[in-house]
Amino acid sequence: MRSGTNPRAVVLLSGGLDSATTLAIARSEGFDCHALSFRYGQRHAVELEAARRVAEALGAAEHRVIDIDLGAIGGSALTDHRIEVPTQPSAGIPITYVPARNTVFLALALGFAEVIEARDIFIGVNVLDYSGYPDCRPEFIAAFERLAQLATRAGVEGARTHIHAPLIALTKAEIIRRGTDLGVDYGITLSCYQPTPAAPTQKGQAIAGTAMASLACGVCDSCRLRRQGFEAAGIPDPTRYR
């Protein structure tokens, strides 16, 4: 943990590759990082254990998990088990898009930031190697930052809130190289939309150093982008695929 004299930042942390890199970047910039994760009805809620491990490994000042139920509105393969996760790229916005997810996440991060008097929020969205999600675009981030100045007591009193998206213009390979330089252990991250528990070892213990000892499916959009990123970066992929 860093000294309390450092500025505070709220960092959205899913436990995946991008959010882990974002946390490492925020820490490298001298922030006391308050990691925020969500149990939102996602079918891959196992990612929250990966988020816990990442927060601990990267020295977050704290890690909070907030429960919300985006599954109640449905409309996404990530929150509705009746909808299959696609295994092939699709045209347009894919069914893995969760309606309003980043808007809701940033709104809660904004409230948390006000409470702890943080003026910086970090989110790991990316516009180049993303899956076609509308809430990963620079226009959305800029619009939300404008909203933050209007919708908060801090903004009205003249304290500007900054929304940082340090990965937004990077390729997946560039993200991986940046995180590697900052000491991110990608073996403890989990990006898969439909992971399964790994088989136990002979001693019945999970394999150390892997996120939840879960196996990534290797065929969902998130796995595909992750795999291609490591290949393009020329860095060994520590992910355990099914």
- What was the pLDDT predicted at 90? 74
The full length of the chain comes to 242
Domain residue ranges of the chain, discontinuous segments joined by +: 8-185
The one-letter code for the residue type at 31 is: F
- What was the pLDDT predicted at 211? 45
- What was the pLDDT predicted at 129? 64
Please check whether residue 224 is in contact with residue 193, taking contact to mean a CB–CB distance below 8 angstroms: no
- What was the pLDDT predicted at 206? 43
Q: Which fold has domain 8-185?
A: Rossmann fold (3.40.50)
Tell me how far apart the alpha carbons of residues 151 and 117 are, in angstroms, rounded to a whole number. 15
- What was the pLDDT predicted at 105? 98
Please check whether residue 34 is in contact with residue 191, taking contact to mean a CB–CB distance below 8 angstroms: no
- What was the pLDDT predicted at 4? 56
For the chain, how big is the Rg over CA atoms in Å? 17
pLDDT, block means (10 residues), the chain with 242 residues: 74 97 98 98 92 98 97 93 86 89 97 97 87 89 96 91 97 97 97 81 44 80 94 96 88
- What was the pLDDT predicted at 205? 44
Q: Which residues pair with 241 in a beta bridge?
A: 216
Residue whose entry in the numeric block shows the structure tokens 């008097």: 117
- What was the pLDDT predicted at 132? 79
User: Is residue 55 within a helix (H) or strand (E), and if so which, with residue range?
Assistant: helix 47-57
Cα-to-chain-centroid distance, residue 99: 16
- What was the pLDDT predicted at 116? 96
Question: Which of 233, 200, 188, 207 shows the shortest CA–CA distance to 51?
Answer: 188
- What was the pLDDT predicted at 214? 83
- What was the pLDDT predicted at 8? 98
**Cα 189-168-54 angle, rounded to 5 deg:** 20
